[in-house]
Structure 1
Amino acid sequence: MKDPKEKTSELTEQERAELKVEWLGVDGALVLLYIVLACIYGYGMLNSVDFIIGIMAPGIAILITVGVFLKYCTEVVSFATGKKGSDKKKKK
């Protein structure tokens, strides 16, 4: 008989795939946003470029944030309508 602790440590391939972080999706966009804005702000501060610090970097942040927000909204709507998520898996 297997020990219950052994059962929890063994994951199937499907469970591992579900737990994997998708770096090309929304998570990757957030990491990329941080890196890009850090570089832009750093360059702007080192060279005293007010346009970069005051207009360009906040504009980039707004665009990426709105894009990520809309992506999450589409995921929530598709989950609520049953096109995606656990409801679809249960029907199969």
Structure 2
Amino acid sequence: MTRQKQRIMAITLIGVLLCIVSLLALHVGTIMIPIGGGVQSILNGMGIPVSFTEPITAEQEAVLWYIRMPRLIIGLLVGGALALAGAVMQGVFS
């Protein structure tokens, strides 16, 4: 396998793992949210009307949208910013 294909596979694998861990972070906690109901709520919130499972309760939806989703988005943005800052520092000092 060529080096380019290895890089593409590694980036794809890391992206898939990021999506899986993000979904788990949204659904696991003191108030458990079923994965199917949570995904349905997220898709409905994005404007994609789906109904493939029982909807989650109002309490679960509030926890998902007002506590866990902002925390996940901020975590992803901060992680990306730190990665970018590290790459810039390596470029400057090497």
TM-score by length of 2: 0.44
Larger Rg: 1
